[in-house]
């Protein structure tokens, strides 16, 4: 028997199919490897959870609610309407909300510059905040989603942190 063949036979012996009954009522057949006791542990852990499809749905619903909430808050704060597809706008609302409500934003609002040098930097940070408030392109928010929540903090870096 070749090594490849031997390996695949060995793998087949170690692998088995199991039906998992998730807590949401759905079930799924999965393949498990390794020690039998570990497999059983894995299955009872899985069975306390909802299935991957329901989990995905739940996450999507959470996201939808968060986006809706962000849109509502943006309206209350008088922020401009975002432009883009419905999907883009929904997502960008949450990104914008997080960027404009980080703790650095509170600092920015309450800080009093100590000298001229700080004042210049502080005004720059304020300008950046104003720029963010007027940015209406959903695409821009989505493209910058991984860094934009640090913009205000970074702009305050030389003054406070
Ligand atoms: Zn399910």
DSSP string over 88-131: HHHHHHHHHHHHHSSHHHHHHHH----SHHHHHHHHHHHHHHHH
Whether the model clears a pTM of 0.95, i.e. scores above it, the answer is no
Q: What pLDDT sits at residue 103?
A: 87
User: How far apart are the CA of 82 and the centre of ligand 1, in A?
Assistant: 35
User: How far apart are the CA of 46 and the centre of ligand 1, in A?
Assistant: 12
Q: What pLDDT sits at residue 102?
A: 87
User: How far apart are the CA of 92 and the centre of ligand 1, in A?
Assistant: 29
Q: What pLDDT sits at residue 12?
A: 62
Instruction: Give the residue ranges of the chain where pLDDT is below 70.
Output: 1, 9-13, 161
Please say whether the beta carbons of 13 and 31 come within 8 A.
no
């Amino acid at each position: 028997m070749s090594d490849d063949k031997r390996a695949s036979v060995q793998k087949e012996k170690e692998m088995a199919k199991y039906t998992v009954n998730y807590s949401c009522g759905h079930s799924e057949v999965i393949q498990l490897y390794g020690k039998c006791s570990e497999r059983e542990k894995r299955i009872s852990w899985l069975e306390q959870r909802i299935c991957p499809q329901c989990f995905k749905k739940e996450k999507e619903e959470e996201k939808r609610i968060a986006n809706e909430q962000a849109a509502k808050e943006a309206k209350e704060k008088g922020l401009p309407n975002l432009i883009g597809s419905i999907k883009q706008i929904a997502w960008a609302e949450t990104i914008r909300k997080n960027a404009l409500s980080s703790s650095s934003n509170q600092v920015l609002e309450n800080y009093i510059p100590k000298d001229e040098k700080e004042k210049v930097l502080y005004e720059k940070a304020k300008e950046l905040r104003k720029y963010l408030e007027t940015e209406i392109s959903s695409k821009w928010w989505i493209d910058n989603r991984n860094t934009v929540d640090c913009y205000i903090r970074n702009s305050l870096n030389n003054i406070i942190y």
